[in-house]
Amino acid sequence: QLQLQESGPGLVKPSETLSLTCTVSGDSINSSNYCWGWIRQPPGKGLEWIATIFYSGSTYYNPSLKSRDTISVDTSKNQFSLKLSSVTAADTAVYYCARLGATVHFPGAFDYWGQGALVTVSS
């Protein structure tokens, strides 16, 4: 059974960089059938796609984040990560990592999600 688990600081100061890691267990992250992504949800609000990375390293970002974010993958650790720089209170949210179907297996669907990690931006 595939499992994803987010980890990282729950509190980040304004203007600093938020760093989160997603550890994937139960399957290899190195598959051409899937991408891996980050989605966030501010308290009481809706979902926002942040970024996606293919196993090959190709990356895609939400333009609204104005290039503050970086997604990367470490296949040796079966992990992928998110860094979001120059954070403000508006970046306070539950951050989810998820698997995205890329080919024949549920294309376009985030089919497995982590439980979510609340990150609060505050001094």
HEC secondary structure over the chain: CCEEEEECCCEECCCCCEEEEEEEECCCCCCCCEEEEEEEECCCCCCEEEEEEECCCCEEECHHHCCCEEEEEECCCCEEEEEECCCCHHHCEEEEEEEEECCCCCECCEEEECCCEEEEECC
Indicate the residue among 63 and 123 with the shorter CB distance to another protein: 63
Indicate the residue among 3 and 75 with the shorter CB distance to another protein: 3
We find the least distance from the C-beta atom of residue 23 to another protein, in angstroms, to be 15
Residues within the interface to another protein (CB under 8 A): 37, 39, 45-49, 52, 58, 60-64, 96, 101, 106-111, 113-116
We find the least distance from the C-beta atom of residue 52 to another protein, in angstroms, to be 6
We find the least distance from the C-beta atom of residue 56 to another protein, in angstroms, to be 12
Question: For residue 56, how many C-alpha atoms fall within 13 Å in the half-sphere facing its CB?
Answer: 5
We find the least distance from the C-beta atom of residue 33 to another protein, in angstroms, to be 14
Indicate the residue among 31 and 106 with the shorter CB distance to another protein: 106
Indicate the residue among 8 and 101 with the shorter CB distance to another protein: 101
